[in-house]
Amino acid sequence: MTVSENNGDVAVIKMAELIPGLQPLIYWMSNSIELLHFIQQEVPILLTWEQHMDQYACHNDQFSSTKAASEEAMTVLEEVIMFTFQQSVYYLTK
């Protein structure tokens, strides 16, 4: 990686060299955002088992724990995405 000196001590990485290094992060964030969207929008639709619980003899505890796990996963994933984005912006603008 070539680093050009700018104003003595400040090292500036050229944009052409920075982009390939950021691609894995961008792909990860893109996939994570799609997963978060799925959890937020589609999982509640899939979890409409409540009306069919008696028909399939499902336990209420099973439904509650699945719903709680889904909500916890959504919260954690959202926090990780926001933290990663904030740190990326911080280090890119530093």
* Residue-wise DSSP of 27-46: HHHHHHHHHHHHHHHTHHHH
Please tell me the distance from the alpha carbon of residue 34 to that of residue 14, in angstroms, as a whole number.
30
The answer to whether residue 1 scores a pLDDT higher than 50 is no
For residue range 20-40, what is the model confidence (pLDDT) as tens digits? 888 898 899 899 899 888 888
Backbone phi, psi, residue 59, to 5°: -90, 145
Of 39, 35, 42, 60, which is closest to residue 50 (Cα–Cα)?
60
Look up the pTM and report it.
0.60
